[in-house]
Amino acid sequence: MLRRLYHNVQSVLSLLGPYKKTALFLLFVLLCVAFFEAIGLGMVIPLLATILTADMTGISSNAISLFNEVYSEFVPEGMKVMGICLLILGIFLIKNGFIYLRTVMASYFQNSLRHFWSTIIMEKYITAEYNYIISHKRGSLINNLINEPLVSSKFMFRLIMLIARILVITCVYTMMLIINWKITLYLSLAVGAILSLFMLMSKKVAVSIGKERLPLIQEITADGEQSLNAIRQVKLFSGERIVWKNFSNKFAYLKKLLVKLEIYRNIPERLGEILVISGFVTVLIYYEYVMKTAIATIIPLLAFVVLSAQKIFQNASVVVSDRMFLITYLPSIRLINTILTGKEIKREELTTGLKIDQLQHDIVFEEVSFSYNNSNAVLKNLSLSIQKNMITAFVGNPAVENQPLLTCYAASTRDTVGEFKSAIMN
């Protein structure tokens, strides 16, 4: 498991290209957001305690006591509420400033990566051996060039938001431990049990959808591109309904997969809010009717715990649901990584090419046969001589006759049998 995680992290890092420093700065911004989020929640206790003039003895932590001592030393008694309000206002202004910066930087990062990946893939495809291009469906190549960089850049954006939420959870959880570690541990057991159970249930679904989604989208793109390119043949053989039905069925199945993903993704967040509010009501009833304790003495701490627990559960549930999204779209990242770093796409050796004005004699084809991917022969035992310094025109179907003939002469494919000759200037 750790090895697979390490491999996935390495794959993501290798795709950052010239934007590694941008990613590092973005990580710093995320940390600042999480820190001020936790500090802002922590200020709820002294604010409510001051407003309610509640006695915090017995339930206040050392951290809160220290804050009260320092705060009382610098702020007059009559200005305590206003002082805390201004302090909270300043903290949330700074936090939202960092949130705005995070949003802008994440958008810049996402679109920069998409631009970087698409241009690199385009450069690889445009300089690839011709045999590689014709051996792949054009729709799949277009999907890899346009759609998958878009999907992968969304993956990176979601990954940034996931890291942001994990940092918020960590900082808020640390603040809860400092204030009251016993309550925090009880909540941790409850939240951990619920989320762990859901993660076990959802992982299998996410992996299954991820394996089906990418090939299905490539197939849909390829079918659409091929159907429109062959529209004349489709109409000639009255195949409109068959093509449309096949295309519609594949899209319907894709819709089913994505709706299923959303159903599982949104369960934790809704469940979490219900559990937090239920816990809050239960504690209030317990202290009021069982412990016979004045509610005012526990309201500040309870309010902090409820707000923090809701913040943690809300972020944790989104982390779990976004984990499903990331697992589902991880094949797209692997595809981009394979194209950018793999050696499957071989470059065409352009330095050995010959200019047309270097040809000294006629171009001669001797018993040339040609087929696409070893299928039925398009050209069979063709012998032909094209005279030097003569304009020669080929009459016929461009795709069936002319293009294969020029392809053979360019020597760009291995699916050619026979010889073609021309004397070339040294």
| CATH number reported for the structural domain that contains residue 165 in this entry | 1.20.1560.10
Rounded CA separation 71/61 (Å): 15
Instruction: List helix spans (H) across 127-238.
Output: 130-134, 138-142, 148-179, 181-229, 231-236
Task: Assess whether 308 and 359 both reside in one domain.
Answer: no
Q: Is the pLDDT of residue 224 over 60?
A: yes
What pLDDT sits at residue 111?
92
Task: Assess whether 189 and 293 both reside in one domain.
Answer: yes
Task: Assess whether 317 and 362 both reside in one domain.
Answer: no
Q: Which of 282, 312, 341 is the last residue of a domain?
A: 341
Task: Assess whether 32 and 55 both reside in one domain.
Answer: yes
Tell which wins on pLDDT, 80 or 167.
167
pLDDT-based confidence at 357, cuts 50/70/90? low
What pLDDT sits at residue 31?
92
What pLDDT sits at residue 424?
38
Q: Residue 61: name the closest of 82, 78, 74, 45 by CA.
A: 45
- Single-letter code of the amino acid located at 175: M
What would the mean pLDDT of 367-373 be, rounded to a whole number?
Answer: 69
In a domain, 105, yes or no: yes
Category of 355 on φ-ψ map: left (φ > 0), alpha (ψ -120 to 50) or beta:
beta
Q: Which of 310, 341, 372 is the last residue of a domain?
A: 341
Digit-coded pLDDT (tens) for 10-67: 767 778 888 888 989 999 999 999 998 888 887 777 766 666 555 554 445 666 667 7
> Would you give the distance in Å from CA 236 to the centre of its chain?
42
Q: Which of 319, 341, 363 is the last residue of a domain?
A: 341
Tell which wins on pLDDT, 418 or 176.
176
Rounded CA separation 295/279 (Å): 15
> What tokens appear for 85 in the block?
């309000």
Q: Which range of residues forms the domain containing residue 58?
A: 2-215+260-341
Task: Assess whether 322 and 404 both reside in one domain.
Answer: no
pLDDT > 70 fraction of the chain, expressed in percent and rounded: 77
Range in 165-169, 177-181, 258-262, 269-273 the model is least confident about = 269-273
pLDDT-based confidence at 104, cuts 50/70/90? very high
Range in 13-27, 62-76, 95-109 the model is least confident about = 62-76
Q: Dmax over Cα atoms in the chain, in whole Å?
A: 108
In a domain, 201, yes or no: yes
Tell which wins on pLDDT, 105 or 5.
105
Asked if 336 contacts 15 with a C-beta cutoff of 8 angstroms, the reply is yes
Mean residue pLDDT of the chain comes to 76
- If one counts every other C-beta atom within 10 angstroms of the C-beta of residue 342, the result is 10
Task: Assess whether 398 and 275 both reside in one domain.
Answer: no
What pLDDT sits at residue 296?
66
> What tokens appear for 354 in the block?
């010959």
Tell which wins on pLDDT, 120 or 318.
120
Task: Assess whether 104 and 185 both reside in one domain.
Answer: yes
Task: Assess whether 29 and 92 both reside in one domain.
Answer: yes
Range in 51-60, 82-91, 205-214 the model is least confident about = 51-60
Task: Assess whether 315 and 397 both reside in one domain.
Answer: no
In a domain, 60, yes or no: yes
Rounded CA separation 254/271 (Å): 27
Task: Assess whether 271 and 368 both reside in one domain.
Answer: no
In a domain, 417, yes or no: yes
In a domain, 224, yes or no: no
Q: Is the pLDDT of residue 375 over 70?
A: no
In a domain, 407, yes or no: yes
What would the mean pLDDT of 299-314 be, rounded to a whole number?
Answer: 78
In a domain, 220, yes or no: no
Rounded CA separation 253/272 (Å): 31
Count of domains forming the chain:
2
pLDDT > 90 fraction of the chain, expressed in percent and rounded: 7
Task: Assess whether 271 and 417 both reside in one domain.
Answer: no
Question: In which residue are the tokens 């969304």 written?
Answer: 154
What pLDDT sits at residue 407?
59
What pLDDT sits at residue 351?
57
Task: Assess whether 305 and 415 both reside in one domain.
Answer: no
In a domain, 246, yes or no: no
